[in-house]
Amino acid sequence: MIKVLKAGLETSIQDYPGRIGYWNQGFPPSGPMDSWSFRLANVLVGNQPGAAGLECQFMGPTLSFDADAVVAVTGADMRPALDGEPFPMWQSVAVRAGQTLALGAARVGGRAYIAVAGAFANEERLGSRSTFNKAGVGGIDGHSIKTGQELPVAEGGGTPGLLVPNEHRPDIRTDRSWTVEVCAGPNDDWIDEAGRKRFLNSPWTLSAKSDRTGFRLQGPEWTFTEKAYNKPKEHGSLPSNIIDQGYPMGAINLAGQTPIILVNDGPSMGGFINPYTVPSAAFWKLGQAKPGEHLHFRLVSVAEAQHLAKEIAERCVRENLVNA
Q: How many other CB atoms sit within 10 Å of the CB of residue 105?
A: 13
pLDDT of residue 91: 98
CB 214, CB 253: distance < 8 Å: yes
End-to-end CA distance of the chain: 27
pLDDT of residue 24: 87
C-alpha distance from residue 178 to each of 32, 109, 125 (Å): 19, 11, 34
pLDDT of residue 26: 87
pLDDT, the chain, mean = 96
Q: Extract the residue ranges of the chain whose pLDDT is less than 50.
A: none
What phi and psi values does residue 286 have, to the nearest 5 degrees?
A: -60, -40
* Nearest-angstrom CA–CA distance, 323 and 12: 30
**CB-based contacts of 302-307 (< 8 A; 24+ apart in sequence):** 302/183, 304/181, 305/181, 305/183, 305/279, 305/280, 305/281, 306/279, 306/281
pLDDT of residue 2: 97
pLDDT of residue 105: 98
